[in-house]
Amino acid sequence: MTAVTRFVLDHKRLVVGFWIVVTIAAFAAIQPSSNALSQEFSVPGREGFETNKELSELYGNGGNVAPIVPVVKLPKGKTVDSPGVTRQLDAALAKVAAALPKASTASYASTRDRAFVSDDGRTTFALVYIPAKGGVDPGQVEARLAQSALAGVSVGGSAVQVTGLDALRASAGESEGGTGVLLGTLLAALGALLVLLFVFRSFMAIVPVMMAFVAIPTTFLLIWPLASVTDVSVIVQYLVALIGLGIAIDYALLVVVRWREERQQSSVTNETAVRNAMRHAGSAVAFSGTTVAISLLALVAVPVPFLRSIGIAGLLIALVSVAVAVTLLPVLLATIGPRLDWPRNHRDARPSRAWSAWARLIVRHRWAAAATSTAVLAALVVAASSIQLGNPRADSLAQAGSAHAGLQKLQDSGIGTGPLSPFDALVRSGDPEAVAKTLAGIEGVRGTTAPPDWRRGETSLVTVIPTEDGNSPAGRATLDRIHATELPAGVTIGGQAAHTADFLDAVYGNFPLLIALISILTFLLLARAFRSLILPLKAVLLNLLSVAAAWGLIVLVFQKGFGSEAIWGIEATQAINVELPIVIFAFLFGISMDYQVFIISRMREAYDRTGSTETAVVEGIGRTGRLVTSAALILGLAFVAFSTTPGTEAKIFATALGGGILIDATIIRGILAPAAVAILGRWNWWLPERAARMLRVGASRAQPDAASVPAPQTA
């Protein structure tokens, strides 16, 4: 880091000129890079994905998209067999066909199949398959078009409501409003600026935000060529904006705080203060960014392009944030930094009085602190063990509106949620009626239909309507029974729910192995950084505990509904989206490791100087407590902003990362981590000579710790 700092300070104009050119090009690249992003969420080589791909090519619709589901409940005394009802139903669906000319429709009116009718004959539904366009809100536009086409239309005297997974999500978006990603990011930046003003109490507060607004567009500039040669998911634009805002500000915050601390020492020039800050804080930033990048290798290694691209984008924003922090930031501090640091205060020159007192309290009551914090975290881990993966329960997606009313009619009539995510059997040859009859006899299947007009050449399509939403645990059990059934050669199962099941198998089949790999790589990196074998082991274990606690938080809040209805009006979802746990792991494991590096780096400095673990704990927390809390608050605000976007899934993701970061910064870093260091004493610094040679660092020598905790320090 010393050599890098020397170079950038010796070539200030070159560094500034480079970043000006890059930033201008980066802002110009934002739109074209966004246009190059892939809308498809594929699981290559899996039966569901390959079947859906073939269905889309043959029929032009269906496959990996949930159907739109018009529903009507007839008045008492009328059934679907009453005179004129089927004719009116046919006319209503003709309006949908006119609004969605590329869609395929099946209903009782077109098939006379009782699978579309409730047992009492009063409630009936239709399946409207649309082309699968992918993206973050597939089918929502089409659902709104279908609702508009059926506005004011009645069948047998009753209004027709349009429901379905996408219709429910669209309804939630309309009722919640939401900020949108751009506005949400700007609100998060404003919140971060307010936190930074509180931390710095000077114009220096603008500097970390400036670093973020260089790093984020630069990441898009790097994503653009990648998106031109491989699939990069459209979801990365949201993650780059929000994750980038958080970590770029955090890295700059760490460097600036250390620069102010160094600058307030006597007989130190500004440039020397910059060099000293980069030698300590700059190295910590480099290790932190590398750790984040390594944790995101978990996603790069997953055989799912959607997740792989998220990993690549996250890795890039971490590395770009580091590059900005170690090149552009020191030049800015060395030139205009002193003028921006006005009005100047001296809080950074000494450890925080409040945080030092807190650390001494933890050291004195280390066992009680460790036991209490562990109990809280253990409760969250136990909750995480009951996680159910699948789509959130349909009635948690929207709590009002036409789509919710249609869903209620399906449930009240006894039909259930199965029509929201049916399975599609592609019959490449043979009798589709025989296949439909076989599938209809499987436990968990409400009915099947094989409309005569759903045939292309020698192929035909059989739709299997389960009793429960195909994305639910019960629906996946039905899918397993379908796969276990002996069907004619050439029959494969697709549909949106089958695609989700493929995703689940592909991602989580080797998930424990991925966690182990990332943990080992992180351990080796931190062992070199901390010159210890115990500290990095503790850091990795606490990070895994932090991720598990975040999983437990979303299980309690959303899956079980403790708080989701009071805060967002969302009923218990009964399940967590299949992609969220691994994405939460990748980002939270890396981001929370930042705080480990920030804190333990200062502890390591203090221990090297004093030989006392207790002094190291008090000084490390005293120096970094305010910094870590501010950094966590900034990231938390970013995810609070993200939680205002419409949709249950966005709120689950934002709660997991925002809540997980706050849990990590308070319970783990503020209580459990310092208590554990105090308990382990001199063994924290243990590094045998053989391990030191392998890591190419100097061996640490365990020293008898000082007997007393240092006297209180003033702020």
The terminus-to-terminus CA distance of the chain in angstroms comes to 30
* Rounded-to-integer distance, Cα 255 and Cα 583, Å: 28
Backbone φ/ψ region at 401: left (φ over 0), alpha (ψ -120 to 50), beta = left
Cis status, amide bond into 138, omega within 30 of 0:
no
Contact between residue 446 and residue 418 where contact means Cβ atoms under 8 Å apart: yes
- The pLDDT tens digits of the residues spanning 82-117 come to 999 999 999 999 999 999 999 999 999 999 999 999
Any idea how long the chain is?
Answer: 715
Q: What is the pLDDT of residue 714?
A: 34
Contact between residue 285 and residue 249 where contact means Cβ atoms under 8 Å apart: no
Q: What is the pLDDT of residue 378?
A: 95
In 569-612, which ranges are continuous DSSP H helix? 580-610
* Whether pLDDT at 183 is above 60: yes
Contact between residue 219 and residue 309 where contact means Cβ atoms under 8 Å apart: no
Cα angle 694, 326, 526 (rounded to 5 degrees) comes to 25
Q: What is the pLDDT of residue 349?
A: 58
* Rounded-to-integer distance, Cα 609 and Cα 658, Å: 36
Which one has a higher pLDDT value, 408 or 177? 408
- The pLDDT tens digits of the residues spanning 239-264 come to 788 778 878 888 998 899 889 888 88
- The pLDDT tens digits of the residues spanning 190-218 come to 777 888 888 778 888 899 889 999 999 99
- The pLDDT tens digits of the residues spanning 341-381 come to 877 655 555 778 889 999 999 999 999 999 999 999 999 99
Q: What is the pLDDT of residue 100?
A: 94
Q: What is the pLDDT of residue 715?
A: 32
Domains of the chain: 67-163 (3.30.70.330)
Which one has a higher pLDDT value, 462 or 575? 462
Whole-model pTM? 0.81
* Rounded-to-integer distance, Cα 111 and Cα 229, Å: 45
Q: What is the pLDDT of residue 184?
A: 61
In the numeric block, the tokens 């805060």 are attached to 567
- The pLDDT tens digits of the residues spanning 598-629 come to 888 889 989 988 999 999 999 999 988 888 88
E strand or H helix at 127: strand 123-129
* Rounded-to-integer distance, Cα 638 and Cα 240, Å: 12
Contact between residue 253 and residue 260 where contact means Cβ atoms under 8 Å apart: no
pLDDT-based confidence at residue 710 (cuts at 50, 70, 90): very low
Tell me how far CA of residue 667 lies from CA of 250, 516, 534, in angstroms: 19, 24, 20
Residues paired with 551 in a beta bridge: none
Q: Could you tell me which residues come within 8 angstroms of residue 33 by beta carbon, excluding any fewer than 6 positions away?
A: 220, 221, 223, 224, 227
SS3 248: helix
Q: What is the pLDDT of residue 711?
A: 40
* Rounded-to-integer distance, Cα 374 and Cα 673, Å: 10
Among 51-60, 509-518, 587-596, 704-713, which stretch is predicted with the lowest mean pLDDT? 704-713
Q: Could you tell me which residues come within 8 angstroms of residue 709 by beta carbon, excluding any fewer than 6 positions away?
A: 360, 363, 364, 614, 615, 618
Sequential DSSP letters for 382-427: HHHTT--BSSPPGGGT-SSSHHHHHHHHHHHTT--SGGGS-EEEEE
- pLDDT above 70 coverage of the chain, percent: 93
* Rounded-to-integer distance, Cα 530 and Cα 475, Å: 49
Q: What is the pLDDT of residue 593?
A: 79
- The pLDDT tens digits of the residues spanning 640-690 come to 777 776 677 778 888 898 888 889 888 998 999 999 999 999 999 998 888
Number of Cβ within a 10 Å radius of residue 559: 26
Q: Could you tell me which residues come within 8 angstroms of residue 605 by beta carbon, excluding any fewer than 6 positions away?
A: 280
* Whether pLDDT at 712 is above 50: no
Tell me how far CA of residue 394 lies from CA of 163, 478, 597, 648, in angstroms: 10, 18, 42, 10
* Whether pLDDT at 707 is above 50: no
Q: What is the pLDDT of residue 247?
A: 84
- How is residue 441 written in tokens? 């006899």
Q: Is 141 exposed, middle or buried (0-12, 13-18, 19+ CB in 10 A)?
A: middle
* Whether pLDDT at 438 is above 50: yes
In 127-235, which ranges are continuous DSSP H helix? 140-149, 165-176, 181-200, 206-229
- How is residue 666 written in tokens? 């308070």
- How is residue 346 written in tokens? 């001296």
Contact between residue 145 and residue 68 where contact means Cβ atoms under 8 Å apart: no
Cα angle 15, 17, 21 (rounded to 5 degrees) comes to 120
Residues 467-475 have a mean pLDDT of: 87
Residue among 252, 504, 518 at smallest CA distance from 391: 504
Q: What is the pLDDT of residue 121?
A: 94
* Rounded-to-integer distance, Cα 164 and Cα 128, Å: 10
Residue among 421, 424, 418 at smallest CA distance from 443: 418
Q: What is the pLDDT of residue 182?
A: 60
